[in-house]
Chain A
């Protein structure tokens, strides 16, 4: 009793929007084979559903051009695991497709030069 009241302000109050809500992951869907090196494409002609979280919408906007999964995660500021879960769900919903690309020396070289140019 009589303990001093503990309070948390702003940053310390924690993220207002929890990760699960950003990622929008709820259904226990099959989430296989979406590993970190895949390149994502938007499936043409499938309209964006209206109950996507802002992060999901932004991801779809990024994927208008083929883009690596890890890059989507980085640009959204999401950790890789949660980002993968979110994108797997969008894939399951038929909104995007994943191309497994072998990390050929060519790709690695382009990645390196891309990173250097940032």
Chain B
């Protein structure tokens, strides 16, 4: 092979390598930017259509006046037309983006509106069935909201979807309550359905890291307890508006942050393209000037730059986690000191609330550390009474006073398993408290069994369907987290358990409610030496 052929071959190879890296990078940058624009254009009309469908559902279910029904239908049709127009304006090559796919699916589903309206008018669809028919138009799978798109919301997409789903569930609850109001009586199955909706809503809200304003939340819980009633519509409207505003604000903020990512992608594409191009040009120049003297193409140094990676952030995040642990630890210590010497009862109540919040922050922090493969900085060498671990677990959830830990056979737990079992139980107790009706008690019991020590967490909630039980078992067994904002609590429980060979199973109890069973291996359990405090209790009081 002549030197000239070698040079040409080398150059051709270089150009091919550069193109291989640059073309996808540029394409990706173009796609990301356009997809974001599309998502922003579609989010407004999609949201408007969903809200219109919810209102129409409410009217159809409650059997409101014909004029109201007609007016709302015109409104819904208008919203649908707006979305269709926006959707058609999207260029063809973006038809695969999340926003176009999700809104396209919503438009396809709502093509059935005429049919459903006919059945509502004809009386074939009434009450709960009518509500369900409309719900199926909004989100048939119960998994994907049609109003939040990954392209727009970026890394916040999962949380914002969960928030949006929570709001949709609230609206569904409103429609069901309206439906029940037209029935002669509310059956147990109806109640279970309402409880499930409310529980799922609370779980999604917590997965979204969102909270209702306190007054709105309290009013809603109270109205929920009364299964509707006059207070419901006010509470519902306040809560619904609050959630909608949170979602809109969240999407706007996420889109702003996401624009930075998009810009980064473009810059990266530019670097890949630019550096590669300069390298190729330099190579050509070099080849031109030393055509004959060139022995071999300098492939090593002129190779196009590989796309940059963000791997360097990891140690930084770890460092922040470590610092946060130190800060929360000191904060809790300070709160403890303050509470011990506070005499004013109101101030003490406030200190306890601050302590509770800080303790929940610590739980999230330690959970994040554990789920990313680390170990929290607070550790135990010595065995610890298991009852204390259980009570600590209960105290890590928001409604800790709903947990009864009275029935535990006295044993100790090996020190290294303390934080993990604590957080594992906190997940299960929280799950139980979330899905069971407010004001009911979650019971934690523990006893020796043949192959270890069995802890059970029992609630009086609606229990789980066979499908959900299967999903739960799968989620707890898998090392990868599920997507979409649901099941994260049980996923975390599975991870905590796996670190110590603890087995967790969920089942429905004999008399309703869910029973979570935690089997702790014998190796982690020890005997609890009798404490002398009980004998002190039996002393005669000093003052009689």
Whether a CB of chain B sits under 8 angstroms from the CB of A15 is yes
* Per-residue contact bits, chain A 15-35, to B (CB 8 Å; 1 contact, 0 not): 111111111111010010000
Whether a CB of chain B sits under 8 angstroms from the CB of A58 is yes
A21 CB to closest chain B CB, in angstroms? 3
Interface positions of B from 401 to 457, Cβ below 8 Å from A: 401-406, 415, 418, 422, 441, 443
Whether a CB of chain B sits under 8 angstroms from the CB of A90 is no
Question: Is B325 a contact of A53 with CB atoms below 8 Å?
Answer: no
List chain A residues, Cβ under 8 A from B343. 80-81
Question: Is A39 a contact of B543 with CB atoms below 8 Å?
Answer: yes
A105 CB to closest chain B CB, in angstroms? 14
Closest A residue to B356 by beta carbon equals A20
List chain B residues, Cβ under 8 A from A3. 319, 322-323
Partner of A10, one of B325, B382, B387, B537: B382
B505 CB to closest chain A CB, in angstroms? 25
Question: Is B349 a contact of A28 with CB atoms below 8 Å?
Answer: yes
Given that A24-B401, A111-B542 are known contacts, is A7 also in contact with B377, CB under 8 Å in the complex? yes
Question: Is A23 a contact of B403 with CB atoms below 8 Å?
Answer: no
Question: Is B391 a contact of A66 with CB atoms below 8 Å?
Answer: no
* Per-residue contact bits, chain B 298-333, to A (CB 8 Å; 1 contact, 0 not): 000000000000000001100100110110010011
Question: Is A19 a contact of B341 with CB atoms below 8 Å?
Answer: no
Interface centre among B325, B352, B537 (most CB of A within 10 A): B352
Question: Is B384 a contact of A51 with CB atoms below 8 Å?
Answer: no
Whether a CB of chain B sits under 8 angstroms from the CB of A94 is no
List chain B residues, Cβ under 8 A from A24. 401
Question: Is A25 a contact of B349 with CB atoms below 8 Å?
Answer: yes
Whether a CB of chain B sits under 8 angstroms from the CB of A102 is no
What would be 30 A-B contacts, judged by CB atoms less than 8 Å apart? Answer: A1-B315, A1-B316, A2-B319, A6-B326, A8-B379, A9-B379, A10-B379, A10-B382, A15-B336, A17-B388, A17-B391, A18-B332, A18-B355, A18-B395, A19-B336, A21-B391, A21-B392, A21-B395, A24-B401, A51-B404, A52-B406, A54-B387, A66-B541, A67-B543, A75-B536, A81-B340, A82-B340, A107-B543, A115-B542, A118-B542
Task: Give the A-binding residues of B (Cβ under 8 A).
Answer: 315-316, 319, 322-323, 325-326, 329, 332-333, 336, 339-346, 348-349, 352-353, 355-356, 359, 377-382, 384, 387-389, 391-392, 394-395, 400-406, 415, 418, 422, 441, 443, 536-537, 541-544
